Structure 1
């Protein structure tokens, strides 16, 4: 998959996780879906910030402004993910936080798929999108699995701190018995 196809695939997977949350038959299942949602959205956001947004910032007309808007949306999502990640299972706020997260993600996906991704397709060669897709796919294996709203969201600081955060996240995941990816 090229980068745009991969990002759209990620969006569909997260949409399915929101449906799975509402279909869950127990508190344990809902918590499992929350943990998967936190992991997948954290990886997705980190990889966009490390690889996709820097390219878009350079190649798109008005790229810096557009990417700053997307980074702002990421911050709202990361704060909600952090709140969900810290929430004890069965907490009364869980449903409201998931509903807020869903709204934020749906808006972000609409803007990304309606504007950003088509513009990238127009301004980036097929070969470069294929290579970026390959790098994104590889990056999923080592991206942070938890939200880090206080971490830098742009290279070069993100490029340096991202792998450290990822290693720490994966260590925590093992200690807490969360699935690894």
Structure 2
């Protein structure tokens, strides 16, 4: 699978999980906990393969505009993964505060996905050959499997 197809597949999975979380109620404590664990593991694996493999290749192939997109994407990862998600994970899932934080995380992630798919991925298709995208995809799949195994063992 090429790099962009893999990332889009991840985007769909995480969006679906975030949608389920947003639709859950304060009474669905177990469901919210399960969804949050899945979101955390999948987001961590996804952002790691982007930051370690895809983004550096994209930045190296591009120019000033791609470098700007690269740094913006890293900051969006940091906002979601280092600020909002840890707070959400410490919040009681039986509260409306949890609902609010889940909504903010969902909106952040959806905004990031839209920018990647509408801008970064289109540029990447112009800057990187089909062979390069396939090679990146293979590297990313292997690293993602490794990360998910490690994250699930730690959970």
| Residue aligned with 2:87, SS | helix
Report matched runs for 1:46-61 at 5 Å. 46-61=48-63
Unaligned runs of 5+ in 2: none
- Contact 2:2/2:135 (CA < 8 Å) preserved in 1? yes
Cα offsets for 1:56-113 (capped at 9, x unmatched): 1111222222211111111111121222233344344211111000110111011000
TM-score calculated relative to the size of structure 1: 0.76
Q: Please tell me whether residue 140 in structure 1 is matched to residue 122 in structure 2.
A: no
RMSD: 1.9
CA distance in 2, matches of 1:99, 1:31: 15
Residue 18 of structure 1, CA deviation? 1.7
**Higher relative contact order, structure no. (Cα contacts within 8 Å, ≥ 6 residues apart):** 2
Q: Pick from 14, 21, 31 the counterpart of residue 29 of structure 1.
A: 31
Per mean C-alpha deviation after superposition, the further-off stretch among 19-28 and 50-59 is 19-28
Report matched runs for 1:113-152 at 5 Å. 113-143=117-147
Question: Structure 1 residues 17, 170: CA separation in 2 closer, same or farther (over 3 Å shift)?
Answer: closer
Residue 142 of structure 1, CA deviation? 2.1
- Tell me what 1:81 maps to: 85
CA distance in 1, matches of 2:131, 2:8: 18
- Contact 2:88/2:101 (CA < 8 Å) preserved in 1? yes
CA distance in 1, matches of 2:90, 2:45: 17
Length, aligned pairs only: 151
- Tell me what 2:7 maps to: 7
Unaligned runs of 5+ in 1: 146-165, 174-181
Q: Pick from 67, 72, 76 the counterpart of residue 69 of structure 1.
A: 72
CA distance in 1, matches of 2:132, 2:105: 32
TM-score calculated relative to the size of structure 2: 0.88
Residue 17 of structure 1, CA deviation? 0.5
CA distance in 1, matches of 2:23, 2:69: 35
CA distance in 1, matches of 2:110, 2:98: 18
